[in-house]
Amino acid sequence: MADTPNYAFVELVPDLKPYILAARQVRDARNSLAVFLPNVAKQAVSYRLGRRKRLDQTVPIRAIDAPAIPIRRPGVIEVRGDLPAITPIVDFSELDLTQEMILAQQLAGLQVDYATWVAQGGALCAATTENTFELMRGQVLSTGTIVLETEDGATQDVDYEIPSDNKIHANTPWDPTQPGAVFDGLTAANEQFLDSSGDNGGAILTTSAVYNLMVAALQVRFPNQPIGQESLSAYLASKKLPSRIITNDRKLENADGTKTRVYPEGYLTILPSGDDSVGETQLGVTQEAVQQVQNRVLTAQEAPGMTLVTLGSDNPVARAVKGASIGMPVLRDNEDIVIMSGLVA
């Protein structure tokens, strides 16, 4: 069995700051759920978010000389807790490091230029971190909870308390040969959204399989017409249902090599719109960032968010780039989301 490197902090590049800031800009367009829960840097180690209450309250008419009626202040309800740590590490082993260029530099007594290695390692750490957040976003938008799992298998649930009436499980999977059941179910879910949020839903998040079921159901309803995305959207709009449909079929690879859907099959989520957020993915300040502020690598204002640390070992010879983050998606508007499940057999 190969020895595990005993890493210590080493300086692989003269100034790590540009690599940190560049890594923070790494984005993958396939991680589309960030629209609903965008990254927000916070000077904190815990999440805390005031829930936005819509300004649709009324107040009773009062008699003259009677005391005024207090109303709820928007944002008075708070969600809070600790931000979990996400720390991917990219190892450059002795075999990686014994390349012709690096070996030649070492033999010539020259300082090895690790800039490319650090940039590549930082980008990989950033992509892995963002993928982890995207998987969490999928959990929030499909269940209203996040399941945090540690390396020893222990789990901890974070529940954002979506009202139980806003979670609708179909008694039977949708059957496209029964279009009445399909669209009546969607109508009932949208009515629940209206009751909960005070407005109609603006967008549907679901999978391609559920989308295809709706298209097939509409084709059964109108057998003599060609049915596609435009026809389905127009039909939903005519029924005052959300007409913008966003599908998500992304799969991500877990540490054990298995693949997991970001947004689970058979689910459908009604959201206020396809462009507006319902919360944030909050990124806090790590201990590594605190040390970098102390060492003048970062300023205090630059501390929140993912940071990078370069590491080294001489027995066995290895170098590494570690990405350090604390963060998670936080659902703000838990009354502005309705989730249907069990739609696909």
pLDDT tens digits, one per residue of 313-336: 877 778 889 999 999 999 988 999
Helix, strand and coil in the chain, % to nearest 5: 30, 25, 45
CA dist 164 and 143 (Å) reads 11
Model confidence at 18: pLDDT above 60: yes
The larger pLDDT score, comparing residue 203 to residue 313, is at 203
Please state the pTM of the whole predicted model. Answer: 0.86
What was the pLDDT predicted at 68? 46
What was the pLDDT predicted at 74? 42
- CA dihedral over 171, 175, 177, 179, signed as positive or negative: positive
Give burial (CB, 10 Å; 0-12/13-18/19+) of 137: buried
Give burial (CB, 10 Å; 0-12/13-18/19+) of 150: exposed
Domains and CATH numbers, the chain: 8-53+76-162+276-330 (3.15.30)
pLDDT tens digits, one per residue of 6-16: 888 888 899 99
